[in-house]
Structure 1
Amino acid sequence: MTTDPGPELARATDLSGATALVTGAASGIGYACAARLATAGCAVHLVDLDRPSVLRAASELDGHPHVADLTEESAIGRLPTEVDVLVNSAGIQHVAPIHEFPAELFTRIQHLMVTAPFLLIRHCLPHMYARGWGRVVNMSSVHGLRASPNKSAYVAAKHGLEGLSKVTALEGARHGVTSNCVDPGYVRTPLLEGQLAAQAEANGITEDEVADRVFLHHSAIKRLIEPEEVAEVVGWLCGPGSDHLTGTSIPIDGAWTAH
């Protein structure tokens, strides 16, 4: 026997009336998340340092563009505060052994990928608490759960983001606010495709061989993850049935972390 889910479930499935803010939203995972939330009915604020790209992305999604350097606290203070869904997705990468890693770049990566999410969460929580509902989604990485050589800044930042997300979950629980990390493996983004091409040229092999030998070595599923697959998990975390899912990390890694 089937029953009509009724208007309550219909409302829960629809995020119309909610406002989302997504960082790193001009391309890649951030753009896919913004698109997924816009499809669910959210009014979406897209934040990125790349002015032409974020203006184009916002136009495509009928969203609100914000050009901001998130390593500057004053830039975060100028962003909207009435945010129901916050997706911290902005990030950069630099690969070098520790003894050759520029100290100033290590500090910048921590600021962008740990301090900025903290400031954004602090910026948005009062509105979420007042409403009695909110979703914080922190785009971590399999490197928030595992380490790799030559990625000291990125691994340290993602591990820090994991801890910040758990504290946010503990503090936000009684206010109806959840906080979770999404932990993808290697995702097909413009940044990764550039790395594929560079390594293929340097080693005289095809991009598919680079992906298989380097990026997918630890993954049981031998293909790159699409940004839209990550965005679907983000959308699910903001939808019905996720109220008790908080303070955790969701690997999208093709069983990398099963080893």
Structure 2
Amino acid sequence: MKLTFPQPAVGATRILDGKVALVTGSTSGIGLGIARSFASAGASVVLNGFGKPEEISDAVDGLQRETGSRVVYSAADMTRPDEIASMVDVALESFSRLDVLVNNAGIFHVGPVDQVPVDKWDAVLAINLSSAFHTIRLALSAMRRQGGGRIINVASALALVGLPLTSAYAAAKHGIVGLTKVVALETAEENITCNAICPGNVWTPLAEAHIAEQVQTQGLSREEVIRNILLAEQPNKRFAMVEEIGALATFLASDAAASITGAALPIDGGWTAH
């Protein structure tokens, strides 16, 4: 599938001009939406994630062509601290600075807590939580040298509430919010902010695949799956769009958000307002 990127709006404010952003898990879905929003706002971007080589090449070329920003790619595996270190080095070697770090890489597992395979638990914690620890500890030295930075952790509505059958994912995302608060406090006087975005259900290719799977296995219509299963906990009964997540991340990365730190910001259609 060839990826296409619409042109940024004429006269769009490039509030991240001169900034460099690293976004993990950004070859598709929410991460790619955030990367595109950053590039449209003027930032140079390091993409990271898995995918077919031709699709990754399309993503890099498409972002550069449509936004005019420089984009590079790192294939670092987020379960491997040595590769994470190499990814941060790619950002610094390519652009000589690192202003914005977005920890978005993540995987999901569904099942009762007593039936979660140990290797699945370990993988979810490694990718969804431990990788953020490694990127943050490595990025902080660069941010301190240059006098500031922005750290944005993509958590989840499940970082704020529980949901049966999501023990590993919810545990990791709750951990991300705790990590966010501690980093925010430790860097509060250094012009470095650290915040978490907590999306509910977001419209992505994975969401579309999940709908098709549920239609097949549950014998329900597409509309019933969306409203009564996927959006059951989401009062506004609509998916958030990746552009909405990207817009919030771009604001948090900007100078205007200098006093927002240690926050866990829901973007969940009212889910966590219950």
Tell me the TM-score range normalised by the shorter chain: over 0.9
Residue by residue over 1:12-36, the C-alpha shift from the partner in whole angstroms, topping out at 9 and shown as x without a partner, is: 9621111000011101000000000
2:133 to 118, 137, 142: 118
Matched residue, 2:201: 186
CA shift at 1:240, angstroms? 3.3
- DSSP-derived class of the 1:181 partner: strand
Question: Where does the alignment leave 5 or more consecutive residues of structure 2 unmatched?
Answer: 1-12, 65-70
CA shift at 1:107, angstroms? 0.6
Amino acid at match of 1:256: W
Once residues 52 and 141 of structure 2 are traced to their aligned partners in structure 1, the CA distance between those partners, rounded to angstroms, is 29
Matched residue, 2:168: 153
Once residues 188 and 221 of structure 2 are traced to their aligned partners in structure 1, the CA distance between those partners, rounded to angstroms, is 48
- TM-score, normalized by length of structure 2? 0.87
Once residues 190 and 56 of structure 2 are traced to their aligned partners in structure 1, the CA distance between those partners, rounded to angstroms, is 32
Answer whether contact 1:134 1:178 (CA < 8 A) is retained.
yes
Q: Which moved more, 1:158-167 or 1:49-58?
A: 49-58
- TM-score, normalized by length of structure 1? 0.92
Once residues 147 and 187 of structure 2 are traced to their aligned partners in structure 1, the CA distance between those partners, rounded to angstroms, is 10
Matched residue, 1:20: 21
Once residues 52 and 176 of structure 2 are traced to their aligned partners in structure 1, the CA distance between those partners, rounded to angstroms, is 26
CA shift at 1:51, angstroms? 4.8
2:98 to 64, 80, 83: 83
Matched residue, 2:155: 140
Q: CA RMSD in A?
A: 1.3
Amino acid at match of 2:82: S
- DSSP-derived class of the 1:122 partner: helix
2:215 matches 1:208: no
Matched residue, 1:195: 210
Once residues 42 and 19 of structure 1 are traced to their aligned partners in structure 2, the CA distance between those partners, rounded to angstroms, is 5
Once residues 115 and 175 of structure 1 are traced to their aligned partners in structure 2, the CA distance between those partners, rounded to angstroms, is 24
The percent of aligned pairs where both chains have the same amino acid is 38
1:224 to 211, 224, 239: 239
1:61 to 63, 82, 86: 63
Q: How many residues matched?
A: 248
Residue by residue over 1:33-89, the C-alpha shift from the partner in whole angstroms, topping out at 9 and shown as x without a partner, is: 000000111110001122523332112112101111110111111113431100111
Question: Where does the alignment leave 5 or more consecutive residues of structure 1 unmatched?
Answer: 1-11
Amino acid at match of 2:169: Y
Once residues 221 and 18 of structure 2 are traced to their aligned partners in structure 1, the CA distance between those partners, rounded to angstroms, is 47
Q: Which moved more, 1:113-122 or 1:217-226?
A: 217-226
- DSSP-derived class of the 1:25 partner: coil
